[in-house]
Structure 1
Amino acid sequence: MTVDAPETTQPPDLLPSLAKVVRGTSILFWGLPIALVVTTMAIISNWTYAAYPVGMLLPPVSFGMLWYGLHMLGSFQPQERVWQGALGQAKIWGLVNLGLSPFLHWHHRAPDELYFANLVWLLALAFVFYLMALNKVLARLAAMLPDETLRLESQLFSKMNRALLAVIPVGFGLIFLLSFISNPPVLILQLLDFALIMRPWLFVAFVLVPLSMSMSLLWKTKEAILLSVFTAENDP
């Protein structure tokens, strides 16, 4: 069922569920950059320790926003199993991020502790899978809305985002495998040195670009819902 269905076939809770979708997409829109900034600052600076205990609480709060935003979407079209399945998968990754986020503070307190360092890397990988799942959710959500342009854009950019983000776990896997090789080939070492030099640009290409396009899809989805609701109310 889509939003532009005739009024006689619309369930009575459609407008309240759409209102929750609007609030959920707004929370996700602001939560994504906040989580990225908070996580980056927690890794490269000591502000979580200097601003204790507020600094320690900010990572869980920011990742909690990303889970709660998805939770707000759950009341929309609960009978659609494909949509609810994609949403449930994203919420699981959101819970993983939330559970791992406190270790950002503890890793900074004890940077030599290998256990904390591994959990921070696991958090980074889980956040990538969260973004991939979120883009799938946005594509499923757009498929149930009446805006044809939004449907096409969501299908295109969600696939593009997931393709870019998929490079990151592949890179993680290659680095993990290289750790078991005592004498890796010279070409591999040269590629790793090049990747270290190009690290800021790789971060822009494979993290910031998908994240910004995800934010754009969130904003366009919210605007499409608001436009469809107000257009329906103004129709005679």
Structure 2
Amino acid sequence: MKNYGAFNLRHLAKGLKYNNLKPEELGITANQVKVLKSWLKLTGLSNGKKLTPLGSLIKAHDRFLEENITMEVMHYKILTYDQDSIWRLVFSLSDFDKQYILKELSGLYEFKSDLIVADLNVLLNMYIPKIAKKESMNRALLPLIRKQGDFYCKREYKPNIWVALAIIIDNLPEPTLDNNASWLEFNTIYSTFKNVFGLEYRTVEDILYKLENMGFVKIRKSHIEISCNYTFLDCIEKAYKELEV
């Protein structure tokens, strides 16, 4: 993922309104429409031609992309969609500086240095908390990064419990003729939440104990059994439904 411009994911609310994304209808340039389409696909809201079931669900419950639930889901989707992205590299690290990111990406991919720096600045602008009104579309998506001098450190962010369950379900192995077990090793779950939300061991444990008390998982010695039939989309819809209560 590169060269997407100075963009904030909340701007995708404009893309949810239209299926064909014609520039004259959106009031933006053709190049901006191209950027919008790319982000809609990266976040799982579109398949490139129309909204996905996830995109339609979010449009129905949060068309202006104001809820943290929406940001949590889109953040997770970015990290799982693009394996070679600057997002993937940054969130695999506990701390970093700009020179390290530049060196790593320049060595692995044929990205121009100025594009890497531009994309990194966009990422940092999205995730470093700043003073902004709730209505501002430029406020931080999730407070996942903090700046300490020239270094940037990943912060813990505890997601909505339904989003957490959705992610666990999304990481279940595909069923086969020989194996239809609905379970995940604890280390796999911990690694996923560590990378995506910077969660520490005890925080992941807390989430799993809460899910067990809700009757959705069973905690075993080294793995977690899923004891519900919810899909990823079912969980996200339930998260939105709870907001309406």
The answer to which structure has the higher strand fraction is: 2
Q: Greater RCO between the two (CA within 8 Å, min separation 6)? A: 1
Bigger radius of gyration, 1 or 2?
1
Flag the structure with higher helix content. 1
Query: Structure 2-normalised TM-score?
Result: 0.27
Q: TM-score, normalising length from structure 1? A: 0.28
